[in-house]
Structure 1
């Protein structure tokens, strides 16, 4: 069975780590919007050049550009039999666009997994990461604001996918291997 899933979760919940592990288990590519942006920029694609202009100005890349990049990435041969999306969709408009992309390809989502996390523990993780990576601008107030924005933007997505019967919530706290095991259990036979 092919698996097409979205991995949601707040910054610091371990999405990147778990996306890579889960994608390997499922035999599908882990696709993150950050990776798509970087690939388009480094390859000098038309969309990459457009995205770079927004990023250089410190602005968000508009949905229209992001949607086109995601559609192009999902059309690549390695995603034909499934994928794991990390970082997309982020808005209700992007949910609609993803629905259109999948319907156009004759596909549909199989799961939407939300990694849940304790806010204070996530703040501690991100402060530690900021210190290790020398990110002086990642202060506690900035991190808490990013978490608030995540909740504001993602709550509607959680409701949408729960309403469709696709949402699975998994505790993202604890040892990396424990979280991976919880994810595999939550996805059942498709992640075995």
Structure 2
């Protein structure tokens, strides 16, 4: 099964993605992880992507398309399918991916759309903290670390991303809405979109996601 998960920043895509990968044993293709790796290694592509991300803007289609295609080409085991997380974000990307996939093993079977109100997103985003060492995610209200500023898993320092502010969130959501609304429309016309209420306990969200994928 090939799955695409969509939703604004802070909608819970990361949590649901991890559960989907564990349950269905699919390859997790996250453009966020790919970009963080490139940025961390200081590559030319990574630095170019960082200049957009620091402003809360979406990375241009050509950069993203090239990275995803390269990753898919390197995948050795495609039999269980994959989970696309953070791509495609624009109509152009969606059409480019469909052209790449055709009717074969890469075509998308189901789109999970995470819906959540802005005020809930704002609370989630501004309280989010990440571990510099292992990437574990915390939240000051809903999932605080046992020791302030330290990761429970590895003891690494926690930090707040530069774009985890209400101001940056507003820019990111505006960009997200303008760019991705046509993508959802595109896939809804194909009849493969399942809209999920992400403003509920994680267990309930997961139950809804599971029903959509097993339907």
Using structure 1 for the length normalisation, give the TM-score: 0.83
Q: How does 1:4-153 map to 2 (within 5 A)?
A: 4-40=2-38, 49-55=43-49, 58-59=51-52, 61-75=59-73, 76-103=75-102, 106-129=105-128, 132=140, 133-135=159-161, 138-153=164-179
1:71-129 CA deviation, whole Å, 9 max, x = no partner? 12223013343000000001111011111221285542100110111211111111111
More deviation, 27-36/83-92:
27-36
Residue 183 of structure 2 is aligned to residue 157 of structure 1: yes
SS in 1 for 2:180: helix
Q: Which has the higher helix share?
A: 1
CA distance in 2, matches of 1:87, 1:109: 14
User: How many angstroms does 1:50 deviate by?
Assistant: 3.5
Call closer, same or farther: CA 1:137–1:107 in 2, change over 3 Å. closer
SS in 2 for 1:78: coil
Select the structure with the greater relative contact order (CA < 8 A; seq sep ≥ 6). 1
Q: Unaligned stretches of 5+ in structure 2?
A: 53-57, 130-138, 141-158
Using structure 2 for the length normalisation, give the TM-score: 0.75
CA distance in 1, matches of 2:122, 2:12: 12
SS in 2 for 1:114: strand
More deviation, 157-166/106-115:
106-115
More deviation, 20-29/139-148:
139-148
Is the Cα–Cα contact under 8 Å of residues 11 and 198 in structure 2 kept in the other structure?
yes
Residue 176 of structure 2 is aligned to residue 178 of structure 1: no
Residue correspondences, number: 182
CA distance in 2, matches of 1:107, 1:147: 28
Is the Cα–Cα contact under 8 Å of residues 74 and 80 in structure 1 kept in the other structure?
no
**CA RMSD between the two structures:** 2.4
Q: Unaligned stretches of 5+ in structure 1?
A: none
Call closer, same or farther: CA 1:36–1:138 in 2, change over 3 Å. closer
